[in-house]
Each structure stands twice: as structure tokens, then as C-alpha cells.
Amino acid sequence: MPIPPLVVSSVRRLWHCQWRQLMGGLGPADADGNYRRPAGAFAAVPELPAGAAEPGRHVLIVGRSCPWAHRTWLVWSLRRLDTSIEQLVVEPDPERGRWRFVEPFEGASALIDLYRRSGSPAGARATVPALYDRRLGRIVANESAVLVDLLNHWPGPEDAPNLAPAGLSDPIQRWRELFQSAVNDGVYRCGFARNQGAYDRAEAALFAALEEAEAELTARGPWLCGEQLTLADVVLFPTLIRMELVYAPLFGCSRRPLWQFPALSAWRARLFATAGVAASCDAPAWRRDYFGALFPLHPSGIVPAGPELATLVNGPPVAPQP
């Protein structure tokens, strides 16, 4: 028996109202419907601690599916900081909307417990990444843009690469500012847009930035700032490695598939093949967490099939940089 049109229109209006309420909790927006990423609870820039190299003192807390945590994981891996910073992976708890520890950590069962203990403002979200100092007993930083800079100066092996050399500071900063707004936040602005206009603006800016990166890699390469892998590459990679698996199907970032950007596709494969990078990539976890947890965008919770990551990054291997 067909559903009466009046029932359909009433249900649509009710669902849209509820959707807007749910989206308000998922991702705040401005008056024009543009998604605005909340500031981190511990966004102040910390000084490099005197005991930075002390084994066991600092713990980098990350989640597999979070692209912001992924960029810190990459710097930690590329600079081989495992001897001076422990890394701890938390798991999502979609039923309670939080990150939880697989085993209790510092007496906490969930990341929110550490946030509250560290003095986070009431109502602040407990997000990854987070850098925890065991000596101080608190989180000292949780803003990924701050943490990648801090980790790049962290004491490591003598041959650990500098991902932000002084001679490349200007182009690195330019790329980072572009990607942060148009790409890293941009895919979320597409997915969390409240109306068509907000989506159109975000989607246009996203693909304009990708076209700019494609042109740069085609003209110069092999990396965004020339011959050296830098933080510019690091901050772009977590978004692009998730593009076909998550952002295109779920967030509507599907105007052009990445294979239509041949230089960017080769760049992504090159970085994926760099020592330590593949271990930070967990495609099944990304798809499970995004499709299973973002209820307002995907109410069924069904995790659709997607391409194997290996088919997207089958470029030649690259030796680690000295």
C-alpha cells in the first residue's frame, strides 16, 4: 500500500528538524550553514619540555580513524620518536560518543576522564590527538597543528628528518594554511554543511585546492615543496588517503575521483610507500568508524563495501629519508 503524500512530506519535515538538531551536536555551524570546527581544549602552544627525551614520560594518544590524529602519528613515525614518546591508540565508543582506552590508562577508562582531570572547560569535547605528560599528570596539548610542529622539534635519532627546514618555511606555511581551510576542514564542511549553498562553497574550495596541488606537483615535485618531504605533505595525506574510502561516498566530495589527478595520485602512493606510513593506515577502521558512528549522515549504520586500500596506493616503494 503506497504511503500517502501528506505522510511523506510530514515525515520529511520532522526528519529534517531532527537532523539539524543532531548535526548541531555533531559539528557546529555558523548562521550561513558553514561547518566550523571547534577549538581544542588545550590549544595553547607548549614549550618543548626539558625532559622531552625521558623514556616513558610522554604519551601520544591517537585514534585510527581521526585524520587530525593521523598527521601526528605520521610525524611520530617519520621521525622515529618511539624511543622518546609512547604512542597509545584509543578506540571509538559510538554508543556513548567518546574515545575509550582498550585497557585503563592512568586510572582512566575513557579519554574524557583525562580531559576533565587535566582541567578542560566544562562541555569541551575529548578529542584526539592528545599529548599526555605522566610527570605532570595531565594533557599538555591536543591541537594537531601545534603538535606536528612540536613533534618535528622533539629529540629523536640523530638522522631523524627535519620536516620543516627553515629554507622552506614560507611554502610549507602557505600549503598548510590552504589545506587546513580548504581540504582538511573542507571535506567536513562538505559533509556537515547545513544547506546547499554551504556545501557548494566548501566543495568548490576543496577541488580548487586539489587542482593547485596537482599543478605544483606536475611542475616541480616529487613533493609539494620540491625535493624534500615536509609537513606540507604530512598534513594533506590523511585527508587524501581517506578520499575514495570515506569522504567521496559519505561527505559528497565526489566531483572528481582522485585518479583524475595523476600527480596527486602518484604523490599519495609515494608517501604511502615511505617507511612507517602504511602502518598508520587502517582502512577498515576508517570505514567502520565513519559510516558506523556518524548517525546524522548515515542513519542505517551499514558499512558499505569499498575499494581495497592497496588498489589505491600501488606506487613504487620509497626509502626513508636521512
pLDDT in tens, 217-252: 999 989 999 999 999 999 999 999 999 999 999 999
Q: Provide the β-strand partners of residue 151.
A: none
Band (pLDDT 50/70/90 cuts) for residue 31 is confident
Residue 144 and residue 42 in contact, taking contact as beta carbons nearer than 8 Å? no
Residues in the chain: 322
What's the CA gap between 297 and 227, in Å, rounded?
40
12: in domain: no
8, pLDDT greater than 90: no
- pLDDT of residue 318 exceeding 60: no
CATH number for the domain spanning 130: value is 3.40.30.10
| Whole-number pLDDT of residue 1 | 61
**Side-chain half-sphere exposure of 225, counting CA atoms within 13 A:** 23
SS3 of 155, please?
coil
Q: Give mean pLDDT, residues 293-316.
A: 79
Q: Which of 126, 152, 178 is the endpoint of a domain?
A: 152
Q: DSSP 3-state assignment of 102?
A: strand
Eight-class DSSP state of 35: B
Last residue of a domain, one of 152, 186, 202: 152
In the chain, how many domains are there?
2
Q: Which range has the worst mean pLDDT, 91-100, 199-208, 256-265, 267-276? A: 91-100
Tell whether 198 and 257 lie within a shared domain.
yes
* Residue 239 one-letter amino acid: T
Cα–Cα distance for residue pair 194/295, rounded to 1 Å: 15
Cell for 150?
Answer: 612540536
Q: What is the pLDDT of residue 317?
A: 44
Closest CA to 221 of 166, 162, 268, 152: 268
Is residue 289 domain-shared with residue 197, that is, in the same domain?
yes
Rounded distance between C-alpha atoms, residue 86 and residue 83, angstroms = 7
* Pairwise CA distance, residues 296 & 15, whole Å: 10
pLDDT digits (tens, 9 = 90+) for 140-153: 999 999 999 999 99
* Torsion sign over Cα 35, 98, 102, 134: positive
Mean pLDDT confidence for 182-186? 97
254 φ/ψ sector (left φ>0, alpha ψ -120 to 50, else beta): alpha
174 domain residue, yes or no:
yes
- Position 86: which residue type? E
Q: Which of 104, 127, 152 is the last residue of a domain?
A: 152
Per-residue model confidence as pLDDT tens digits over 93-104:
987 888 999 999
Range of the domain at 197: 166-312
Cell numbers 610542529 correspond to what residue? 149
Does residue 5 lie within any of the structural domains? no
Same-domain status, 67 and 142 = yes
